[in-house]
Amino acid sequence: MSARRPTSVEGGKASKPVTVSSIRNAKGREPLVCLTAYTTPVAQALDEACDLLLVGDSLGMVVYGLDSTIPVTLDMMSAHGAAVVRGARHALVVVDLPFGSYQESPGQAFQSAARILAETGCGAVKLEGGAVMAETINFLTQRGVPVLSHIGLQPQSVNALGGYAARGKQAAEAEAIVADARAVADAGAFAIVVEGVVAPLAARITETVRVPTIGIGASAECDGQILVTEDMMGATFGHVPKFVRKYADVGNVMREAAKAYAEDVRARRFPAEEHLYGVPSPKVAAV
Ligand SMILES: Nc1nc(=O)c2c([nH]1)NC[C@@H]1CN(c3ccc(C(=O)N[C@@H](CCC(=O)O)C(=O)O)cc3)CN21
Ligand SMILES: CC(C)C(=O)C(=O)O
Ligand SMILES: [Mg+2]
């Protein structure tokens, strides 16, 4: 097996687990490589290539077939977070706090985050919101909970926004999003996910804050990129957002495998000799 190519936050040293500080200090170095994961085997497959694995609340849509992330619960995030941590040896695992588990107060956010850290063993939590979440981010980071921020397009606000359209097209909205970035960075977030904003705004935010920006639908000028794994693997069957590049066709690989299996079963070609448990032969039994 060939040696693994060092990722950006390792500085070329042997593979060490990625930490919150190594992510924070990665700004200005190689881009941060981030993907979502919801299960142990997917985490095992992605771990080596990635700096950060996000257990996104997008699992509600991707795994559970919900039509938004709003109904996702803390129980779901805890179960999938623990599964991903079991499959990750290298990448930092971050778990999304779901809608309704942190917006009410810093105290509520701390309760939810503490539960997620304790039950999953993940390294940090992510929460959506800019300036309005600054007090909460400060409360958590002062109490031992590392926070990844998420600004720009915030899917948990889909009911207030009326859809998933890109943000920051108007100058006033762009200014507000830059102010959000400053506020969450000042409050102690170790990095910021910037989702669905016009490209020049993503570049401006990246210049403005001292922590890394991780873009999704936001431009290559961010300090890192994240995508939903099933989107970039071609493992979903619905609409795929414009910002996704498809690196594989896993959905069709599964469809074809199911067809081949069906043909073998119907033709009694499966199972074959090598799949059968034999009874001991009389000779073996006599020894
Ligand atoms: N599979 C999946 N991928 C994601 O990136 C993702 C989720 N689910 N669920 C949670 C949020 C929701 N996100 C989304 C969902 C849809 C669009 C989308 O369809 N956007 C349209 C443009 C919409 C408009 O301009 O009105 C697009 O075609 O890109 C974008 C982001 C990003 N997140
Ligand atoms: C798309 C990423 C940033 C996310 O929040 C999620 O997967 O839930
Ligand atoms: Mg999310």
Residue 231 alpha carbon, nearest atom of ligand 1: 1
Q: How confident is the model at residue 285 (pLDDT cuts 50, 70, 90)?
A: low
- Substitution site in 35, 42, 58 for ligand 1 pocket (most atoms within 8 Å of beta carbon): 58
**Cα–Cα distance for residue pair 257/151, rounded to 1 Å:** 40
CA atoms within 13 A on the CB side of 94: 31
Q: What's the whole-number mean pLDDT along residues 72-82?
A: 98
Q: How confident is the model at residue 280 (pLDDT cuts 50, 70, 90)?
A: confident
Question: What pLDDT shows up at residue 229?
Answer: 98
DSSP letters of 103-148? SS-HHHHHHHHHHHHHHH--SEEEEE-SGGGHHHHHHHHTTT--EE
54-63 pLDDT, tens digit per residue, is: 999 999 999 9
Question: What pLDDT shows up at residue 282?
Answer: 74
Residue of minimum CA distance from atom 5 in ligand 2: 56
Q: Catalytic: which of 30, 48, 104, 195?
A: 195
Q: How confident is the model at residue 279 (pLDDT cuts 50, 70, 90)?
A: confident
Residue range 8-251, CATH number? 3.20.20.60
Q: What's the whole-number mean pLDDT along residues 94-118?
A: 99
Greatest extent of the chain over all pairs of C-alpha atoms, in Å:
87
Query: What size, in residues, is the chain?
Result: 287
Q: Which ligand is nearest to the CA of 240?
A: 1
Evaluate if residue 5 carries a pLDDT over 50: no
Q: What's the whole-number mean pLDDT along residues 158-181?
A: 96
Residues by chain with Cβ below 5 Å of ion ligand 3: 56-57, 96
| Interface confidence: ipTM more than 0.85 | yes
Q: What's the whole-number mean pLDDT along residues 65-77?
A: 98
Evaluate if residue 160 carries a pLDDT over 90: yes
215-259 pLDDT, tens digit per residue, is: 999 999 999 999 999 999 999 998 999 999 999 999 999 999 999
Q: Catalytic: 10?
A: no
Distance between Cα 228 and ligand 3 center (Å):
10
DSSP symbol at 215: E
173 marked ligand binding residue: no
Residue 238 alpha carbon, nearest atom of ligand 1: 1
How many DSSP H helices and E strands does the chain contain?
12, 8
b/e 167-178 (16+ beta carbons within 10 angstroms → b): bbeeeeebeebb
First to last CA, the chain: 42
CATH 3.20.20.60, the chain: domain bounds: 8-251
Among the residue ranges 12-16, 232-236, 259-263, the one predicted with the least confidence is: 12-16
